[in-house]
Amino acid sequence: MPLTPQQLALISASTIGHYESRAEAFRDGTRDHDVSQNIAALLRHIDAPAPLQILDLGCGPGRDLRTFRALGHHPVGLDGSASFVEMARTESQCEAWQQDFLALQLPAERFDGVFANAVLFHIPSEALPRVLSQLHATLKPGGVLFSSNPRGDNQEGWNAERYGAYYDLTHWRELMQAAHFSELEHYYRPAGLPREQQPWLASVWRKANA
């Protein structure tokens, strides 16, 4: 059964509300997370000259906006949480847009790269093709999308107030290829551990012609 518009709205409101209600604790708890491996994976595949235009989709409180800016690039944040958008602007001095992933309004062919760190799994599977096509459209020709998600056996549903969808590599590839992205690389995180202790699947994709 497809989700109703009311169910989709509840998924966004409840998931965003979870982060909104603990915004400061989330910022303090994730400020020192080392995602340099993921940032490097995005940047090494972008062929355009610096400074790069980067969309940090689901930017949270702005940790990675700060990093991209410190590297000399021009990142823009996007998040559904008003508190995160405010923190991101203050902490990074970058532009940040408050938008719902399920109602994105993005400029065409604006970005060299999209960085989606720990965010796309919050989108219900039936809405994901539309979101991926919007991300495809906001990338410049040849642009690159980075994604990291907790992996699973293609199940989805509620985890307390948050909604999540958890894919294996085979199904994630099908979804990305259907949205006209071609794979550049993938890896599991954290690095250096046995696979069963690597809950995160990171992957990097180039915009192909639709």
Distance CA 154, CA 37 (A): 25
HSE of 42 in the Cβ direction (CA atoms, 13 Å)? 27
**Among residue numbers 111 through 140, which ones bind ligand SAM (CB under 6 A)?**
117-119, 122
The gap from C-alpha 177 to its chain's centroid, in whole angstroms, comes to 17
Element (H, E) at 92: helix 82-92
Binding to ligand SAM by residue 146, rule CB under 6 A?
A: no
Q: Per-residue x/- mask for ligand SAM, residues 40 to 69, rule CB under 6 A? A: ------------------xxx--x------
Contact 81, 25 (CB under 8 A): no
What number of chain residues touch ligand SAM (CB under 6 A)?
A: 20
Among 39, 54, 79, 132, binds ligand SAM (CB under 6 A): 79
Binding to ligand SAM by residue 75, rule CB under 6 A?
A: no
For the chain, the straight-line distance linking the first and the last C-alpha, in angstroms and rounded, comes to 28
Q: How far is the CB of 25 from ligand SAM (least distance, A)?
A: 13
Give the footprint of ligand SAM on this chain (CB under 6 A): 12, 15-16, 19, 30, 58-60, 63, 79-81, 84, 100-102, 117-119, 122
